[in-house]
Amino acid sequence: MRIYKAKDYNDLSRKAANIISAQIIMKPNAVLGLATGSSPIGTYKQLIEWYKKGDLDFYEAKSINLDEYKGLGPDDAQSYYHFMHVNFFDHINIKPENTNIPNGLEEDAETECARYNSVIESSGGIDLQLLGIGCNGHIGFNEPGSAFDKETHCVTLSENTIGANARFFASRDDVPRYAYSMGIKSIMQARRILLIATGANKADALYDSICGPITPSVPASILQLHNNVTIIADEDALAKILAEHDIMPGGHLIDRRDGTDK
């Protein structure tokens, strides 16, 4: 695991976009695992800017998104389909048929989860998975308590997540109660993972994920077992970690209390 401190949100977005663009440059037909939420918006903006300057080409790239609210379709302004188009896909030259998002309008969870698992499998696997993190340590919509061995599944959203995401809806009651999410197993199969975190409300989740025990009650803690994880976070999100650790130039954490390497 390598951890990098960003000066601010722009710096974080630029660093994350640099890693994603390096992936596309090295493998133009890379499969990108993409995320929603407010954290990656700046990353997408930066990638769009570089694409418009002619420095990046998404023509051969493929994308597989982490999740979608069950019950929301492409026309719903709160759907992740809509989010991805407005914030990224509509501004770059990725082919629409190469983008994948769970179908929130499929009522039969078994059908949709099986379809999405076969999308992931037939893509040849995700080269680079971008992740945000929920305040309760969730990744995708894998809530605390989710088994680590799950592939795509239908999730009952926690009250914590409903509350955190209510800001995007007219009221808390409008937040869907269910979502389709790629499972932890699918996320862990990505060849490389890039997690971004910003703001003081992520400090506990980030600390527990990186420094705490590996446990389903903190879904992101499983990332400690992946062999290629990069975390980029701002000072506020890193506050609790930095109170006990130093980040070395290679991105490794050293515990100041006993000198151990994380």
Which residues are catalytic, by number? 67, 136, 138, 143
68/127 with CB nearer ligand GLP: 68
Q: Can you give the binding site for ligand GLP, defined by CB under 6 A?
A: 35-39, 66-67, 132-134, 140-141, 161, 165
Phi then psi dihedrals of residue 126, to 5 deg? -85, 130
25/155 with CB nearer ligand GLP: 155
CA distances from 164 to 8, 74, 126, 129, 172 (A): 22, 22, 28, 23, 9
Smallest distance from ligand GLP to CB 191, Å: 19
Smallest distance from ligand GLP to CB 40, Å: 7
Query: Is residue 130 within 8 Å of residue 34, measured between CB atoms?
Result: yes
Torsion, Cα 84 89 91 93, to 10 degrees, reads 170
Residues 6+ apart with CB under 8 A from 1: 210, 223, 224, 226, 229, 230, 231, 251, 253, 262
Q: Strand 253-255 relative to strand 245-247: parallel, antiparallel, unpaired?
A: antiparallel
Smallest distance from ligand GLP to CB 54, Å: 29
Query: Is residue 30 within 8 Å of residue 23, measured between CB atoms?
Result: yes
Smallest distance from ligand GLP to CB 257, Å: 30
29/201 with CB nearer ligand GLP: 201
Smallest distance from ligand GLP to CB 213, Å: 21
Structure tokens of 105? 């309008």
Q: Within 10 A of 171 (CB to CB), how many other CB atoms are there?
A: 7
37/183 with CB nearer ligand GLP: 37
25/88 with CB nearer ligand GLP: 88
Angle at 75 between CA 31 and CA 39, to 5 degrees: 50
CA distance 164 to 58: 32
